[in-house]
Structure 1
Amino acid sequence: MLQINARESFAKIGKEVGLSAPAIGKRVRQLEEDGIIEGYALRVNHEKLGVETKAYITLVMHQGLTGTSDVLDRIRAMEEVQSCDRITGDDCICVLGYFKNNRHLIAFLEKMSQYGSTKTSIILEV
């Protein structure tokens, strides 16, 4: 239930699972202490903030370019990047990016070209 709504009251969760609110609170605190619950996040409506284009971008790094971790850090620091993962397969890195429009995406891809060749898949629907 917390994965669906991290702000759900312990009383409501307790009612749903047949435990008291204090018992739920104790269990949640234990999950936090054990590192099972690592944190809480919020969801943002990016469209209301002017994001029109979302895309997955994979990158094959240039031959001879070393320091994949350094490249990952540089890409993760870009404001458009929502996530950046090192992956297996033909590609080295997969980026999820949010862009104001297609022109913004093109400018981002031009910045990415310094690291290698990209392949872009625009997200049509989530």
Structure 2
Amino acid sequence: MDAFDRKIISALQQDSARSIAVLAESVGLSPSACHRRVRALEESGVVAGYAARIDRVKLGLTLQVFVEISLSSQAREVLDAFEQAVCRFDDILECHLTSGHADYILRVVARDMEDYAAIHRDCLARLPNVASMQTIFTLKPVQQWRGYPIR
């Protein structure tokens, strides 16, 4: 990966909807060279896909929470059962296996506290082998994810 590839990746993270011509101009390449590089980045898996960044608040999802989960055991079958169950619930946006006092951290969004209570009852409480659960409510975003640092 060279400097042009890094510029392309940075530009795509900022706005992947721009045309190849605009992208090429912004990184200092011809459109055909830029297109070849974008295709190569896609084929190699560096660019894994494209998606729009959606404002969750404008969708009515005003509450964002992180849920720390500790399981009753670290046995492989317990971890596997938990991970499979997590993937069945659309309300769980992200799940990360972690080190530290919690085994997993989940990211969940909800319309309001009543909606989160329903998600807690109908989704989180149904996850298998949970020994303890702690919900952390976000008060405000200070810095939101804007893409990976490209150096």
In which range does the TM-score fall when normalised by the shorter chain?
Answer: 0.7 to 0.9
1:24 equivalent to 2:34? Answer yes
- Name the structure 2 match of 1:118: 133
Equivalenced residues, count: 126
Specify which of 109, 113, 125 is matched with residue 98 of structure 1: 109
Moved more, 73-82 or 109-118: 109-118
Higher helix share: 2
User: Which runs of 5 or more structure 2 residues have no equivalent in the other structure?
Assistant: 1-10, 142-151
C-alpha displacement of 1:64:
7.9
1:51 equivalent to 2:61? Answer yes
RMSD of Structure 2 on Structure 1 (CA): 1.9
1:11 equivalent to 2:24? Answer no
Query: Identity of aligned pairs, percent?
Result: 23
TM-score (norm 1): 0.87
- Name the structure 1 match of 2:72: 62
State the alpha-carbon separation in 2 of the partners of residues 13 and 27 from structure 1.
11
The 1:70–1:76 alpha-carbon spacing in structure 2 relative to 1, beyond 3 Å, is same
TM-score (norm 2): 0.74
C-alpha displacement of 1:22:
1.1
Moved more, 28-37 or 39-48: 39-48
C-alpha displacement of 1:38:
1.0
Moved more, 84-93 or 10-19: 10-19
Moved more, 16-25 or 68-77: 68-77
Specify which of 98, 119, 125 is matched with residue 87 of structure 1: 98
Q: Residues 76 and 83 of structure 1 are in contact (CA less than 8 Å); yes or no, is this contact kept in structure 2?
A: no
